[in-house]
């Protein structure tokens, strides 16, 4: 059995393209996949690191560029999602594999991007280990909190030899945390796919004007253009439910 430790970086709608009630078809578009393949004894078999040319959010968001240091020029020279996905499947191979991730949102967004591009999700391993949840329990964080990757690396005194928020280096750090805290109680689970067909519901639209008016009432002043963009982005990010923490 092999372990596929992977991480993703995303682009999102550029502030200049945000309009009232204009929810993008794909909220988070993958622009980098970084991964390591480990054997059952945690030896690194191979590595994977690809940038992806975006198809929807073609202008890189300033926040994303600042965080990841990925430039629009680099993305324009990269392969598209379909080609990188095919390479990723070759990297995973046919051996029974378990995905290892820092939080399950990357699995969710990977599947969304695959389906959006009208490709098959069936080759993606169904078993996974969320190493963030195990690290959070190990370090006994208060209920409702999750430890960040950078903090876990610091606590475990893992050598830092690359920038965080780079998909390949984040995958590397996740693998080091995984190897550092692994025990027999860490067992794979089966991912519950959330992309099942759902009954059609009446389309709802955001009343942007009312939302911004409410914020202006609260703060007793006009919102700036930048603040309005942040409020709208926060609204759409909240709708993905990827930041919801369930009580145990």
Provide the token pair at 217.
Answer: 């009432």
SS3 111: helix
pLDDT at 234: 81
Which residues form the domain of 231? 208-240
Instruction: Say if residue 166 is in the same domain as residue 233.
Output: no
Instruction: Say if residue 80 is in the same domain as residue 184.
Output: yes
The answer on pLDDT for 147 being more than 70 is yes
Instruction: Say if residue 213 is in the same domain as residue 105.
Output: no
The answer on pLDDT for 197 being more than 60 is no
Instruction: Say if residue 224 is in the same domain as residue 128.
Output: no
Can you tell me the mean pLDDT for 232-242? 71
The answer on pLDDT for 126 being more than 80 is yes
In a domain? residue 248: no
SS3 51: strand
158: phi then psi, degrees, rounded to nearest 5:
-85, 135
Instruction: Say if residue 120 is in the same domain as residue 214.
Output: no
Q: What is the DSSP letter of 24?
A: -
Give the model confidence (pLDDT) of 172-190 as tens digits: 999 999 999 999 999 999 9
In a domain? residue 201: no
Residue-wise burial string across 190-225, b where 16 or more C-beta atoms lie within 10 A, e elsewhere: ebeeeeeeeeeeeeeeeebeebbeeeeeeeeeebee
For residues 19 and 78, which has the higher predicted lDDT (pLDDT)? 78
CA distances in angstroms from 91 to 132, 230, 248, listed in the order given: 24, 37, 36
The answer on pLDDT for 243 being more than 70 is no
Instruction: Say if residue 161 is in the same domain as residue 228.
Output: no
SS3 7: strand
The answer on pLDDT for 215 being more than 70 is yes
The answer on pLDDT for 231 being more than 60 is yes
Residues 6+ apart with CB under 8 A from 134: 181, 186
pLDDT at 232: 76
What is the number of structural domains in the chain? 2
CB atoms within 10 A of CB 11: 26
Instruction: Say if residue 16 is in the same domain as residue 88.
Output: yes
Q: Determine what percent of the chain is predicted with pLDDT higher than 90.
A: 70
pLDDT at 21: 58
pLDDT at 195: 43
Q: Which residue has the tokens 């009343």?
A: 207
Residues 6+ apart with CB under 8 A from 116: 25, 26
Per the prediction, the chain carries an average pLDDT of 90
Q: Which of 152-166, 184-198, 229-243 has the lowest mean pLDDT?
A: 229-243
The answer on pLDDT for 88 being more than 70 is yes
Q: Decide: 82 and 116 in contact? Cβ < 8 Å.
A: no
């Amino acid at each position: 059995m092999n372990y596929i430790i992977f991480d993703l970086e995303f682009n999102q709608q550029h502030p200049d393209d945000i309009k009232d009630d204009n929810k993008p078809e794909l909220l988070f578009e993958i622009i980098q996949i970084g991964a390591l393949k480990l054997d059952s004894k945690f030896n690194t078999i191979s590595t994977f690191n690809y940038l992806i040319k975006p198809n929807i959010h073609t202008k890189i968001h300033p926040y994303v560029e600042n965080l990841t240091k990925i430039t629009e020029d680099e993305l324009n020279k990269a392969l598209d999602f379909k080609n990188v996905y095919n390479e990723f499947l070759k990297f995973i191979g046919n051996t029974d594999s378990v995905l290892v991730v820092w939080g399950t949102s990357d699995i969710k967004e990977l599947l969304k991007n695959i389906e959006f591009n009208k490709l098959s999700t069936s080759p993606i391993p169904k078993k996974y280990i969320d190493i963030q949840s195990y690290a959070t329990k190990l370090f006994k964080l208060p209920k409702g909190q999750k430890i960040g990757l950078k903090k876990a690396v610091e606590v475990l005194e893992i050598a830092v030899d690359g920038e965080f928020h780079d998909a390949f280096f984040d995958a590397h750090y996740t693998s080091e945390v995984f190897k550092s805290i692994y025990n027999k109680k860490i067992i794979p689970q089966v991912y519950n796919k959330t992309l099942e067909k759902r009954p059609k519901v009446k389309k709802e639209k955001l009343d942007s004007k009312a939302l911004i008016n409410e914020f202006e009432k609260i703060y007793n002043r006009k919102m700036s253009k930048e603040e309005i963009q942040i409020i709208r982005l926060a609204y759409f990010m909240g709708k993905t439910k990827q930041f919801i923490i369930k009580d145990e």
